[in-house]
Amino acid sequence: MNAYIITGVSKGIGLELAKQLSEEGHFVIGAARTPSELDGVNFIRADLSETEKLEALMDEIIALMPQDTVSLTLINNAGMVDPIGFIGNVHAVEMTKAIAVNLTAPLILSTAFISVLKNFEGVKRIVNISSGAGRNAYEGWGTYCATKAGLDHFSRVVALEQESAAYPVDIVSIAPGIIDTGMQETIRGSKEEAFPLLNRFIDYKEKGLLSSAEQTAGQLIAFMENIDFKTAGPIADLRDF
């Protein structure tokens, strides 16, 4: 049995990943604040900004895994683009929450995943959903860019450390491209003075240049099923595969 753990499973890519993987017959556990009622998906309500609870959450998730599990994949998908605005004009509370959800939570969940499964001899993988914003600077996205850059660099470190592990975990931080999700709605709802590239993102929508969550999830699944993570390297872009 192949098992998948997906955060941010109530909408967007996370929802589609859970749906498609469960339809393929895999064991799927989804975590999110908002309940998801997908058939075949085991849902756990969790607020990833409550980082002090995440180690226990991973213990709870691993305890649910079937005895015949031969591979485990953690997909750190949950994320938020807010706060949008120039540094100096955004609020500390919003920045703190974004850092918790986008960066602290994946770090803690990945650490717990590696620790709890250190003696598991099957296939173990971590997929961090990153962004081009972690590799390029965009005005108005200071917090988002910083968290995704941090996620990328964390993935590099884990990949390096796991080279000497007895039963290593493969890891990749992958940018999925520009997708028509609620995050894009949030971006288009911002103000140009807060995000100078606003009109470009409005054009993406109006010109039909956004990938669907369904299409992107299918491409991610194909990547996970067909690409050797070591060959891809710890930093990847889905559009290259």
The distance of Cα 48 from the centroid of its chain, to the nearest Å, equals 12
Query: How many C-beta neighbours within 10 Å does residue 87 have?
Result: 13
Question: How far, in Å, CA of 87 to CA of 7, rounded?
Answer: 28
DSSP code at position 50: -
Catalytic status, residue 144: yes
The C-alpha R_g of the chain, in whole angstroms, comes to: 17
* CA dihedral over 15, 16, 22, 28, signed as positive or negative: negative
Between CA 205 and CA 185 the distance in angstroms is: 9
Catalytic residue chosen out of the listed positions 4, 138, 144, 204: 144
- For tokens 């599990």, the residue is 69
Give the residue among 73, 178, 83 at the shortest CA–CA distance from 132: 178
Question: What amino acid positions are annotated as catalytic residues?
Answer: 144
